[in-house]
Amino acid sequence: MGCKIYINGISNISPQTDSVFEDQAPLEYETNILPSLKQDYKSFIKPMMLRRMSSAVKMGIFCAKQALLEAEVTMPDAILVGTGQGCLQDTEKFLVNMLNTNEGLLSPTSFIQSTHNTVAGQIALDLKCQAYNMTFSQNAASFESALIDALLQIEEKEVKNILVGGVDEISPQFTGFQKLNAQIKDENLNNLDLFESNTPGTIVSETAAFFSLSSVKRATSYARLIDVQVLNILEPSDLTRRIERFLEKNEIAEVDLVILGKNGDNRYDRYYDEIQQGIFSDKCQLGYKNLVGDNNSVSSYALWLASKILKEKKIPEIFMLNALTCNKPEKILIYNQYLGRNHGLILLETCDF
Amino acid sequence: MSDLHTELKKSIIEQLNLEDMEVNEIENDEHLFGDGLGLDSIDALELIVLLEKDYGIKLTDPNQGKEIFSSINSMVDFIEKNRTI
Amino acid sequence: MKGVAITGMGIISAIGRNSEETHTGLKKAISGIGLPEILATNHKDLPVGEIKLSNAELSELLHLPEGHCYTRAALLGACAISDLLKNTGYGEFPEETGFISGTSVGGIDLTEEHFYDYIDDPGTRRFIPAQHPGFTTEKIAEYFKISGLVTTISTACSSSANAIALGARMIRSGRLKRVIVGGTDCLTKFTINGFNSLKILSQSECRPFDNHREGLNLGEAAAYILLEAEDCINDKPVLGRITGYGNANDAYHQTASSETGEGAYLAITKAIAKAGISSTEIDYINAHGTGTINNDQSESVALKRIFGEWLPEFSSTKAYTGHTLGAAGAVEAVFSLMALQNDEIYPNLNFETEMQETGLRPVEILQKKVLKTVLSNSFGFGGNCTALIFQRDGL
């Protein structure tokens, strides 16, 4: 591809504080649905706007503004959001109301806020940003799809600063349904034991992570995003070949570490096993879903983690999946899939070069 | 202040998620939209639903709302004249 | 600029089950709007653009096994792409064909039907993931054995227009050689009640751009086009080329459009610039024209700002199909291609009186005109505005 795209600002909200990166003890949960940690939303969002906002919108605006602030960008040239399940809370509110009143008199606010592009639209409204505005909603490949759009934008040389983020929220009934079809584990467990659980399903959460990307490198840049790919279906046996092709295409002979979307689901973790025991057996391997849970756009958290690692040149032990470490992390591959579908590859490198 | 004034303020606070607001913080003659309370067009739609649900008043022309919803006083006037429940 | 080649199209909507029927419907000015017969709603008096085929009938057309979990939007999508496939001459799509689909509510039809069954009836639990837009896209991808780049755009009523623009950019960048782009949305209780709560549904057939318009009619449809890189075209006929696309946000209100039509103005201006043409080269505009007071006013102002006194012929085709939400951009892309191929402008049905504010008059009866360049607009909730420019091949 050859285009240069830098990560200049990052922000995330998850069930963990950012201090897990500083080797502080992580928060532990005994439930399988993990809410995000509450933030001081009032400091970033006007109360009259805040009053209607669901978690996804609040988290989205909050992270968006923080990422832009760090990158010192006041007005991005594009806003791209990936959200697999969109505004679940308002969708649930409107749907339940409609069903319970048998299509009676319904209040419109939750319908208005139920569309998947509410987060991107509200960010635009808040920033008064009339630029390109896009929302991707492809289950676990939503955030990666948004990143591909960002790469295209920079290649097209039409924009300089892009705001891109992934966000997904939980809601009582819709998220609860995921227990009924084995997406969420039957048994409650401590999140730190996720990888040893050896049962179907995972733990789910709400998270957001936003990034201010730019064609211009700054002294404070975190990393350079090289390339992103999504593949809808593939067999575990085919994964190695696809990863090799992806790296080859980008002329990357080797990566230094991999961040894997392992989620403790014994039906699908074999995708990760395949490369952990194969192509990346001699590499440092990291996981994160035991800390922040799983959801359709949680790979944005992985990008946050990779950005931190590349900038601060350290790898917090809590994320390590194997005994191998890496003294000089320069090239990182992020791989994620959910239920064997929506495979996403994100490749980035240090911008020290 | 009549009971209707208070009742109306309570339901407006609830229906419009004005979380941090108390009944006595809304003046009877204060503009509900624009410079006053700062409500917007989405709130106007919620108020139409509120009129129908709580007082059995159906607004057929949304433009009617502009005058009716100008203040608590104007809403109370309108409700007293037109309520069916 | 040559633009990206369109080598196939397929559609199903209230005016036809395939491209041929649709073209006939457009020419004969036959509206597909009527009262709901298949949608299980209590709002039986609200006119809609419904496809008069039940899910069972659609499943049969597609030879799907019983007990499948396709959403209605996926069924419609698979029908439209089957139509496309037949018209391209491919037996099946070559490997590495990408798929970008737009949808606003995806599979919420199954969620609203089974919401209270999930707990007690394990047989319905296969529908749980159907709610999310990506599911519908994946089902369609599965049907046509597409396994590579598959993604979904959900920007309300501009979803499929954005899918088309993204596809064109993917081809231009060389990321893809071939991509199916478009969108699908079905009628649901969720949307009919939602739009009803916003008080923007018309009790009668919609009348876009009319002074006495009373709102929109919802519709359902799926439409897709095939985009191919130059070295894949071979001797296939090129139906038209996408030369321009523009996306902007109105940043004015979560659902309403600004009175100045700023977002629309910006999107159209960007599309014209991208196509490298002047606004005077546009021969016809397929407007968004939903029939709501707000949209048509705002869009008219935007059009006047761009074209001034030289506004080309324009029409909204929403009175044929209803507003098909996420599918609308793709439906109207197909209509634009039909217009280009046949040198026809399809009329804006139900129009009588010019809008007081702008006095614009759309095309009212089928018009023959040599067309080289067509502009198609799609605007949605969240301020999302998209404009596409299609041009005849070989310009």
Query: Which residues in chain A touch residue C189, judged by CB atoms under 8 angstroms apart?
Result: 98, 103
Enumerate the CATH 3.40.47.10 domain ranges in chain C, comma separated.
4-233, 243-391
Q: Which residue of A has its CA nearest to B40?
A: A48
Domain count, chain B: 1
Query: Which residues in chain C touch residue A134, judged by CB atoms under 8 angstroms apart?
Result: 153, 155, 162, 166, 247
| Residues of A (210-229) whose Cβ lies below 8 Å from C | 229
C243-391 CATH fold: Peroxisomal Thiolase; Chain A, domain 1 (3.40.47)
Phi, psi of C364 (to 5 degrees): -105, -25
> Does the interface predicted TM-score (ipTM) exceed 0.90?
yes
| Residues of A (108-137) whose Cβ lies below 8 Å from C | 108, 111-118, 120-122, 124-125, 127-137
Residue positions counted in chain A: 353
H or E element in which residue B15 lies: helix B3-15
Whether residue C173 and residue A95 make contact (CB cut-off 8 A), yes or no, is no
Name which of A52, A106, A112 is nearest B17 (Cβ-Cβ).
A52
The distance of C174 to chain A (nearest Cα, Å) reads 10
Q: Would you say C133 and C151 are in contact if contact means Cβ atoms under 8 Å apart?
A: no
Mean pLDDT of A103-123: 96
pLDDT, tens digit, for every residue of A188-243?
999 999 999 999 999 999 999 999 999 999 999 999 999 999 999 999 999 999 99
CATH architecture of A5-214: 3-Layer(aba) Sandwich (3.40)
Are A5-214 and A223-349 the same fold in CATH?
Answer: yes
| Residues of A (89-108) whose Cβ lies below 8 Å from B | 105-108
Sign of CA dihedral A323, A324, A327, A332: negative
Rounded Cα–Cα distance for residues A49 and A60 (Å): 13
From residue B33, give the alpha-carbon distance in Å to each of B68, C8, C9, C194, C197. 11, 51, 48, 24, 20
pLDDT, tens digit, for every residue of C348-363?
999 999 999 999 999 9
pLDDT band at A1 (very low <50, low <70, confident <90, very high): very low
Rounded Cα–Cα distance for residues B60 and B38 (Å): 24
Name which of A47, A52, A105 is nearest B20 (Cβ-Cβ).
A47
Whether residue C199 and residue B41 make contact (CB cut-off 8 A), yes or no, is no
The distance of B29 to chain A (nearest Cα, Å) reads 20
Residue positions counted in chain C: 395
Whether residue C382 and residue A114 make contact (CB cut-off 8 A), yes or no, is no
Q: Would you say A141 and A344 are in contact if contact means Cβ atoms under 8 Å apart?
A: yes
Q: Would you say A334 and A306 are in contact if contact means Cβ atoms under 8 Å apart?
A: yes
Q: Which residue of A has its CA nearest to B33?
A: A48
Residue B35: give its domain's CATH number.
Answer: 1.10.1200.10
Rounded Cα–Cα distance for residues A135 and C10 (Å): 25
Mean pLDDT of A245-252: 97
At position A198, the amino acid (one-letter code) is N
Q: Would you say C79 and C60 are in contact if contact means Cβ atoms under 8 Å apart?
A: no
Q: Which chains lie within 8 Å of chain B at 3 or more CB pairs, if any? A: A, C
Residue C27 burial (CB count, 10 A): 14
Mutate to test the interface with B, among A52, A58, A118 (most CBs of B within 10 A): A52
H or E element in which residue C368 lies: strand C367-368
Whether residue B45 and residue C254 make contact (CB cut-off 8 A), yes or no, is no
At position A343, the amino acid (one-letter code) is H
Cβ neighbors of A309 (< 8 A, separation 6 or more) are A257, A315, A329, A332
Q: Is the pLDDT of residue C4 over 70?
A: yes
pTM of this prediction exceeds 0.90: yes
Q: Would you say A60 and A45 are in contact if contact means Cβ atoms under 8 Å apart?
A: no
Start-to-end CA distance of chain C, whole Å, equals 9
For all residues of chain C together, what is the average pLDDT?
A: 97
Place of tokens 């009971």: B3
Determine whether A219 is exposed, middle or buried from the number of CB atoms within 10 Å of its CB (0-12, 13-18, 19+).
exposed
The distance of A54 to chain C (nearest Cα, Å) reads 14
The distance of C193 to chain B (nearest Cα, Å) reads 13
Q: Would you say B11 and B82 are in contact if contact means Cβ atoms under 8 Å apart?
A: no
pLDDT, tens digit, for every residue of C259-277?
999 999 999 999 999 999 9
Strands C284-286 and C313-315 turn out to be parallel
| Residues of B (55-84) whose Cβ lies below 8 Å from A | none
Q: Which residue of A has its CA nearest to B37?
A: A48
Cβ neighbors of A306 (< 8 A, separation 6 or more) are A223, A259, A332, A334, A346, A348
Q: Is the pLDDT of residue C175 over 70?
A: yes
Percent of all residues in chain C with a pLDDT value above 70, rounded to a whole number: 100
Phi, psi of A272 (to 5 degrees): -70, -40
Query: Which residues in chain C touch residue B48, judged by CB atoms under 8 angstroms apart?
Result: 199
Name which of B41, B45, B62 is nearest C253 (Cβ-Cβ).
B41
Does the domain made of A223-349 have the CATH classification 3.40.47.10? yes
Whether residue A232 and residue C196 make contact (CB cut-off 8 A), yes or no, is no
H or E element in which residue C9 lies: strand C4-12
Give, in degrees to the nearest 5, the angle at Cα C73 between A123 and C244. 55
* Among A228, A170, A236, residue whose Cα is nearest residue A348: A228
Mean pLDDT of B6-23: 91
Instruction: Identify the domain containing residue B12 by its residue range.
Output: 3-82
How far is residue A242 CA from its own chain's centroid? Answer: 22
Is the CB of residue B75 less than 8 Å away from at least one CB of chain C? no
pLDDT, tens digit, for every residue of A255-312?
999 999 999 999 999 999 999 999 999 999 999 999 999 999 999 999 999 999 999 9
Q: Is the pLDDT of residue A3 over 80?
A: no
| Residues of B (16-55) whose Cβ lies below 8 Å from A | 16-20, 38, 42, 45-46, 49, 52-53
In chain A, DSSP assigns E strands to: 5-13, 33-34, 78-82, 132-136, 161-168, 204-205, 207-214, 223-233, 257-260, 284-287, 331-338, 341-349
The distance of A109 to chain B (nearest Cα, Å) reads 7
Place of tokens 């098909």: C324
pLDDT, tens digit, for every residue of C266-323?
999 999 999 999 999 999 999 999 999 999 999 999 999 999 999 999 999 999 999 9
Rounded Cα–Cα distance for residues C22 and C320 (Å): 10
- Identify the CATH assignment for C4-233 out of 3.40.47.10, 3.20.20.70, 3.40.50.720, 3.30.43.10: 3.40.47.10
Domain parsing of chain A, residue ranges: 5-214, 223-349
Q: Is the pLDDT of residue C1 over 80?
A: no
Mean pLDDT of A162-174: 98
For all residues of chain B together, what is the average pLDDT?
A: 90
- DSSP string for A148-171: HHHHHHHHTT--SEEEEEEEE---
Give, in degrees to the nearest 5, the angle at Cα A194 between A189 and A197. 80
What is the SS3 assignment for B62?
helix
Mean pLDDT of A35-44: 95
Mutate to test the interface with C, among B33, B42, B52 (most CBs of C within 10 A): B42
Rounded Cα–Cα distance for residues C240 and C390 (Å): 6
Whether residue B42 and residue A106 make contact (CB cut-off 8 A), yes or no, is no
